[in-house]
Structure 1
Amino acid sequence: MVQPAVPEVVEQDIYESIEARTEALHGLRELGPPDLVHLIKAQHKSGVKEIGTYHFVTGVDASSSAALAAYINTLTYTIGENQIWFGKPQSWRITTGIYCCYNAFTRMDMRVKVTIPGSVKTYAVDERGQEHATTDQMWLETYLCSVLRALQYADEPLNKITGLRKFNPITSTEVEHKFLDAAERLFMKGWQLGSDPEVQVPNLLTNHLTTGLLKYIHTTGRFASGINLFEKLRTKEPEIASLLARVLIDADEEVRAVQLLYDTVKLLPMESSLLDVQAQFCMSKGRYDLALECAKRAVNSAPSEFTTWERLAQVYLRLEEYELALLTLNSCPMFTYTDKDAPKMPSPAKIHLPVLPESALEEMNDDYDARNEPVDATLSKLQAQHLKGTFARAYKILTEICKQVGWDALLKYRSSVFVMEEEYRQEKRSSVIAIRDADVSSVTSKKSTDGTPPTPKQNGETSEPAENGDSSTGETAEGGDQVKDPSPVIEKPEETVAPEEVKSGSDDNKAEEQPKQPEKYARLQNKRLCERWLDHLFMVLYEDLRVYTIWRAEFSQYKEQSIPYTKSALEWEMFGTLAERLHHQTEAIEAFNAALKIRFSPRALTGILADQEARKDHRGALNTIIKLTAWQYRWYSEFSTSLLYSIRKLIEDEGAVKVRSIVQATNLPQSVLDLTHHYAQLCAAFRSSGSDG
C-alpha cells in the first residue's frame, strides 16, 4: 500500500523544534502531542550547509527504540535521493534523525537519536529537560500512549497541525493482540492519562484509555476481542461491567448485556456508569419511563458529573417534559474546555507540502486559500460554531427542544421556570410597597392608641420612581431592539434576573427585619434563577435562528424571482453547518451541495455522507468516501476512524464483493480507487461481518 507523502517544516535554526518541545513538556496534561520527527539534511555538494526539518506523525509502532529507528530509516529512502524540493529535483542526505514520543504515564518524552551511518542512542527527557535511562515498562507505556493518540487524532481537522502524517496503528489481528495486552496490563493506571473535557475527574471507567478502547472496538467491529478483554478485567473490578455491557449492546448481544447489568446493579446499586448504560439502553428501546428512573439515580450517584445530568435532560426531552428538561439543563455542572495537547513550535523558515500523485483529483484545488474567500460578517460572528465541550453538548439539547416546540414556545417554557428580570423588579416593587403599607398601618394604629390623629400620606410616597424609570427605560430599549430587528419573526429573548442581583438586593435585608410582613416574592418561589451560561446559550440560539430565518427568506425570495442567489463556497459551508446545528437536514444538504458546485469541500462532503448513510444510499456514500479518502491522503493521512467505520457498515449491509465492484465501477483514477480498497482490505483482515466474500 502506498504511504502518504512526507511534509517538511524547515527550521530557522537547527534543533529549535527539539528545544521547543522540551520546554513545553511541563505544560502537558493529557495524552501529549503527536510524535515529533526531526531530521538534519545535507546535500552531496560540498560547501552546502546543513538544514533542520521536522514533521509530526501518529500511528507509528513505538513499542521499542528499534521500531522508531526503523521509521527514520524509511525516510532516508522516501525523502533522500532525487527528492522534489520546492519544485526542483535535489539530492539530500539525512545525517541525523531524532524521534520524540511522549509517555503520558511517566510524563517523559522518549527519544531515539539515529546517526546515519553510525549509532542509535535512546533516552528519556523529563519536564526539567534532564535525561534518564529507558526501561521495558516505559516502552510498554509509550506504545499504549502512541496508539491512543493515533485514535484520538484520527479525525482531527487536517489543517489543525501543519505537517502531520497519520498512520493506522493497528493493521492486523496480531497487532491488535499486542495493543489489547498492553491495555490490560496498564488498565488500572488509565486514570492517569486524563479524560475527555466533559468529564470532571478521570477515574477507572472514564479516561482516555477506556475511550480509546471503546472507539477502536466500535470502529473495527472487533467485539469478541473487546468482550474477552473486559471479561478478564471485570474479575478484578466489578464496575467494569458497564464497559462490557456497552460492547455487548454494540455487538447486538442485548440479552447478555441486560442480564449482566441486572446482576451487577444488585451488587453495586449506586454505580453511576451502570445506571447510565441502563438509561441509554431503555431510551434506545423507547421506554423513557424506565430510563427516567435510571437517569435520576445516576444523578444522585454522581451529581458533580455533566454526563449524568445530560442523560436526565435527554430523557425529559423525549418525554416532552420541556420545563423539567430546562431545569435539568440549568443544573448541569459546566467545565472549562481543555483542548488536546497541541505542539507549540517557533515560526518556520519554509514549509514543504508535497502532493502525493496517487491521491490527485481534478476537483481538488491546491491553490485555494480560504483567507481570500469572502464571508458575511453575520455568519463569521455566530458564536455557536465555536462552542466546545459541555457547552456544545448543552447547546445541542437546547436546539433539540427548540426544534420540537418552536422558538416562541421555548421562550414561554423559559419564562415559566426561570425568574425574568422584569417580573422580578415588579415583584420587588410590590413587596416593598406591601412592607411600607404594613409600616404605616402599625404607626397609625400606635398613634390612634395614643390619641394622636394619623398624618396623611404625601402624594407619591408609596411609589418607586427610580424603579419605574428603570423599567420604562428597559421596555423602551427592548421595543427599540424589536423595531431594528431585521427578522421580526424571531422574538428576541428577554433577560433573566442575574443571581448576583438577587443575592445583593438591599431590600432583602430590610424585609428580614419585619417580623409580620407579607410573604416576600410569593409568585417567584416556584421559579429558579437561570445560570448565566444558559442565559447566554439562549442568546446564541437566538442569533442562530435569526440568521437562519434571514437566509431562508432571502433564498426563497431570490428563487421566486428566478434570480441566482450568489454566495461563496465558505458561506455555503457555514449555512450548511448552521442548518445542521438547528436540525434542518434538508436545508443543510442543499447548502452543502451548493458549496460543492463551486469547489471541492471536505466539510460539505462529510455532511452529505451522513445524510447518504441515513438514507441507505450506498452508491452515493461510496462515491463520497472515495473523494474523502483521496483528500485524506492528499494531506498525509492514511487512517480515519470515521471512514473505516463507514466502509465497515457498508460491507456489513452489502457484502465485500458488491462494495468492491461499486468502487471499481466509479469513474475515477485507479490510484484513487486503490486508496479506498485499502479500507476494505482492513475489514477483511479483521474478518468483519460481510467481508468473507
Structure 2
Amino acid sequence: MVATGVPELFEDESHSVIEIRTDSLQTLRELGPPDLVHLIKQPTKSSTAKQVGVYHHVTGIDASSSASLAAYTNTLTYAPSNAPMKVTSGLYCCYNAFSRVDMRVQVQIPGTVESYCVDERGNKLEATEEHWLETYLCSVLRAYSYADTGSGDVIKRIIGVRRFNPITSTEQEQKFLDAAEKLFFSGWQLGSDPEIQVPNLVSNHLTSGLLHYIKTTGRFASGINLFEKLRMRDPEISSLLARVYIAADEEVKAVRLLHEVVQELPMDYSILDCQAEFCNKKGRGDLALEIAKRGVVSAPSEFCTWARLAEVYVGMEQWDMALLTLNSCPMFTYQDKDAPRLPEPVRISLPLAPETMCDEIDDAGATPDADVVHPTLRRLSAGNYKGTFLKAYILLTEITKKIGWDQLLKIRSQVFVMEEEYRTEKQTTGRTSRNASTVALRGTDTPQPNGHGLAEETPSEAGTEDMINGESEPSIASSHLDPDVSKPSTSVTVRTNSETPQPQPPNTDPAHQSYTQFQHKRLCERWLDNLFMVLYEDLRIYTIWRTEASQYKQQQLAYKKSAEEWEILGDLAERLHHPDEAIEAWQACLATRYSPKAMRGVLNLYERNGDGRGMLGALIRLIAWQYRWYSEFSPDLLLTIRKLIEEEGAVKVRSIIQATSLPQHILDLTHQYAALCAAFRSSGSDG
C-alpha cells in the first residue's frame, strides 16, 4: 500500500491552533472541519532545545475509539521529515457533530494516552462510548462529503489535508451501516445539503452520505437491507429505499414500493419528488407534472419541489410556465462546509512521497500569478454559483440551449413586467394603489405563479418593496434588464487579449409598444433578474471566443490563451451545454500545462463517448495527482473506475493500465483503486 507524504504546517508561537480550534467550536454549523493533528517536535540530540508545533488536517481515519486515533498519531513519528527532529507528543482532534463536542486524544511519546472531549464552552468532559459511536459516523460522513471530485478544487481549498478511504472492506462497511442504523433517527441534527431549507428524517447529511457511499461502491444490496429495516419503523424512509432500487436497476420494485407508500403518505414530498423524477427521466412529463404540482403543495417552502416542477415544464417545453415556476423558487443563502479557521502558518512543508512523483502531472507552475487572465474572463461570476442559485442557473441555461437567447427574451417579456412597461403604466395610471406592481401581484384575474391553482406567491421583499409601495422606480440593476437586450453579436472582429469586447446596442421591438395584457404579468424576482444578466454575459463572452477562434483558424494563426484562461473557457462552455467546445478548451489547457480540472473535463468526454482506454489514461493521471497532494481517496474517481470494470471486466482494465507508458509506481496507484472494487466484489471484478 502506497502511503502519501505528511504535510506540515508550522504553528505561530503567539497563536495556538488548538486554542483557536476550541474557540471556533461554537461557530460550527455542519459536520465540522477535517480532523486536526497537532505534534510537538524537538531536536533529536537535545532535550533542552526549543520545541516546535506542527500540524496538518486529515479525513477518513477510523475514529471509533481513542486507540485508533492514537495509532495514527504514532505512525507520524516514523515520517521521513522527522529525521533531524523527534515527536514528543501529539494531539488528535475529531469533531462530533451530533453532541457538538470535539473529541481529543493526547499521546505522549513514549508514554500515556488520554482521551476526553471539549464542548463549545471549552469545558473538558469525559468521552463516553456513545460519543465515540457518533464521532466515528461523523468521520466517515466527512470523508465522503469533503472528498475531492478529481478536479482538485477541494484539495486546493485547504492546505495540507490527508484524505483516506474510511471503508476499504465489507467488514468496515458493516461497521459503518450498523452505526448509521443506530443513529439514523438523529441524522437531522447534522444539517443538510444547501438546497434543503429544513433538515428532516430523509434529507440530511447522514442520508446524503449513505446514498453517496452506496452509489460509489455499488453496494446496493447492503443499502436495500438497511433501508428495508428502517422503513419498518417509519414509512417515510421508503423514498430512500426507492432511490436505491432505481440506482440498482430494480425499477419494477421501486415503482411498486412508491405506489404502495403513496397510498399511506399521499402528501410526503420526498416520495412525490422521487416519483416525479422517475417519470420525468422516462420521458413521461405528463405523469410527472401532476405529481410535481402535488409536491409543491406539500412543501411550498422547499427549493427542490419548485425546481422539480420547473424541470418537468422544461422537459415538456412549456417555457413560460418553466420561467414562472423558476421565479417562484425559494432561494437560500449558501452554507459552505465547515473549514478550519486558523491563522496563516509560519512555514509550510509539503513533502512528496517518491511513489507519487511524475513529470507529466507536474503542475508546480500553476500559481495564481503564473497565468495572465483577461479581466472579462476573471469577471464571469456564474462559475462561483453554488447551492440553489447554481441549480436555478443550470435550469435557465438548459432552456436557453433548447430555444436560444432571442426566444428566451421574448418569453421573458411575455410573462414578466419589463421596466419600460412599468414606466408606461405608471405614467398612465399615476401613483394610485392600483399601480403596475400591485395589479401584477394582486389583480383578480392574474394567473397563479405556477399556473396550477396554488396560492399566490409573495415576491421577495428586497426585490419588490419599493414597487409595491409605489414610491420609487426600480433601477435596471435591481429590477430588470432592457426587455430587448440583444443577442451577443456573431460578427465580432478579431481582437487582441487587451481589448474588451462590447455587445451590439439593443434594438427596439415594435411588438412591445402595446401592453394590453400588462395586468396578467408577474414581477421578476431580483435574483432571477441577476441570473439573466449573468447568462447574457456568459453568452457574450462565449460568442466572442468562438468567433475569434474561427477567424484565427481561417487565417491559419495560432489562437493563444493562458492555461487558466483555457480553464475558465472550458467551464464557460460546459455551463452553456457546449461539450465539444469545452473539451477543446480543456485540451488546449493540457497542451500548456497539466491541470486536474482540465483532465477531469477530458475524462467526462471519454466517459460520454464510451472510450475505455481514454478514460483509464485520464484516471491514471488524476489518481496520481490526487496521491501527490495527500489524497488517497476520491469517491468520484472510484465510481468511474467501478463502472468501467463493470463494462470491460477487471482483467481488461488491469491490462490496459499496465500497458500505459507511465512509471510503474504511478500505475500501482490506480491498481489500488481497482483492488477496492475487488474487495467490494463489484460486478466484473471477478474476471
- The two structures have a TM-score, normalised by structure 2, of 0.88
Q: Which residue of structure 1 aligns with residue 85 of structure 2?
A: 92
Shift of 1:476: 12
**What secondary structure sits across from 2:49 in the alignment?**
coil
Aligned mates of 1:181, 1:347 — CA distance in 2: 40
The residue identity in structure 1 corresponding to 2:30 is: E
Q: Which residue of structure 2 aligns with residue 401 of structure 1?
A: 399
Q: Which residue of structure 2 aligns with residue 260 of structure 1?
A: 257
TM-superposition CA deviations, 1:36-63 (whole Å, max 9, x none): 0000011112253110000000000000
Aligned mates of 1:641, 1:290 — CA distance in 2: 34
The residue identity in structure 1 corresponding to 2:597 is: R
Aligned mates of 1:401, 1:475 — CA distance in 2: 18
Contact 2:227 / 2:238 at 8 angstroms: preserved in 1? yes
Q: Which residue of structure 1 aligns with residue 672 of structure 2?
A: 678
**What secondary structure sits across from 1:269 in the alignment?**
coil
CA RMSD of aligned residues (A): 2.5
1:292–1:492 Cα change, 3 Å: farther
Q: Which residue of structure 2 aligns with residue 498 of structure 1?
A: none
Aligned mates of 1:428, 1:262 — CA distance in 2: 52
Which stretch shifts more, 244-253 or 149-158? 149-158
Q: Which residue of structure 1 aligns with residue 636 of structure 2?
A: 642
Find 1:422's aligned residue among 415, 420, 423: 420
Q: Which residue of structure 2 aligns with residue 63 of structure 1?
A: 64
Shift of 1:432: 4.3
Q: Which residue of structure 1 aligns with residue 611 of structure 2?
A: 617
Aligned mates of 1:119, 1:384 — CA distance in 2: 53
1:575–1:434 Cα change, 3 Å: closer
Match runs of 1:342-361 below 5 Å? 342-361=339-358
Aligned mates of 2:535, 2:649 — CA distance in 1: 43
2:169 equivalent to 1:176: no
Contact 2:488 / 2:540 at 8 angstroms: preserved in 1? no
1:401–1:582 Cα change, 3 Å: same
1:367–1:429 Cα change, 3 Å: closer
1:184–1:63 Cα change, 3 Å: same
TM-superposition CA deviations, 1:415-440 (whole Å, max 9, x none): 000000101221222334999xxxxx
Shift of 1:493: 11
Name which one, 1 or 2, has greater alpha-carbon Rg: 1
Find 1:536's aligned residue among 512, 530, 537: 530
Alignment length (residue pairs): 624
Q: Which residue of structure 2 aligns with residue 166 of structure 1?
A: 163
Aligned mates of 1:185, 1:682 — CA distance in 2: 26
1:14–1:688 Cα change, 3 Å: farther
Find 1:236's aligned residue among 193, 213, 233: 233
Contact 1:596 / 1:604 at 8 angstroms: preserved in 2? yes
Shift of 1:574: 0.5
Q: Which residue of structure 1 aligns with residue 281 of structure 2?
A: 284
Shift of 1:91: 2.2
Shift of 1:321: 0.3
1:177–1:476 Cα change, 3 Å: closer
Shift of 1:130: 0.7
- The two structures have a TM-score, normalised by structure 1, of 0.87
Contact 2:620 / 2:667 at 8 angstroms: preserved in 1? yes
Contact 1:490 / 1:546 at 8 angstroms: preserved in 2? no
Q: Which residue of structure 2 aligns with residue 545 of structure 1?
A: 539
Q: Which residue of structure 1 aligns with residue 111 of structure 2?
A: 118
Q: Which residue of structure 2 aligns with residue 323 of structure 1?
A: 320
Contact 1:493 / 1:542 at 8 angstroms: preserved in 2? no
Aligned mates of 1:94, 1:475 — CA distance in 2: 62
The residue identity in structure 2 corresponding to 1:11 is: E
The residue identity in structure 1 corresponding to 2:639 is: Y
Contact 2:90 / 2:107 at 8 angstroms: preserved in 1? yes
Match runs of 1:520-599 below 5 Å? 523-599=517-593
Shift of 1:479: 9.7
Shift of 1:136: 0.2
Shift of 1:367: 4.3
Aligned mates of 2:669, 2:40 — CA distance in 1: 31
Aligned mates of 2:273, 2:430 — CA distance in 1: 47
Q: Which residue of structure 2 aligns with residue 249 of structure 1?
A: 246
**What secondary structure sits across from 2:333 in the alignment?**
coil
Q: Which residue of structure 2 aligns with residue 128 of structure 1?
A: 121
**What secondary structure sits across from 1:53 in the alignment?**
strand
**In percent, how many aligned pairs have the same letter?**
62
Contact 1:490 / 1:545 at 8 angstroms: preserved in 2? no
**What secondary structure sits across from 1:158 in the alignment?**
helix
**Structure 2: gaps (5+ residues):** 434-471, 493-499, 510-514
Shift of 1:372: 2.5
Contact 1:16 / 1:346 at 8 angstroms: preserved in 2? no
The residue identity in structure 1 corresponding to 2:299 is: A
**What secondary structure sits across from 1:370 in the alignment?**
coil
The residue identity in structure 1 corresponding to 2:341 is: K
Shift of 1:77: 1.4
2:206 equivalent to 1:209: yes
Contact 1:9 / 1:55 at 8 angstroms: preserved in 2? yes
**What secondary structure sits across from 1:157 in the alignment?**
helix
Aligned mates of 1:537, 1:143 — CA distance in 2: 41
**What secondary structure sits across from 2:154 in the alignment?**
coil
**What secondary structure sits across from 1:181 in the alignment?**
helix
Contact 2:485 / 2:506 at 8 angstroms: preserved in 1? no
Contact 2:418 / 2:483 at 8 angstroms: preserved in 1? no
Match runs of 1:422-441 below 5 Å? 422-432=420-430
Shift of 1:361: 1.5
Q: Which residue of structure 2 aligns with residue 509 of structure 1?
A: none
Which stretch shifts more, 151-160 or 232-241? 151-160
Aligned mates of 1:477, 1:149 — CA distance in 2: 46
**What secondary structure sits across from 1:625 in the alignment?**
helix
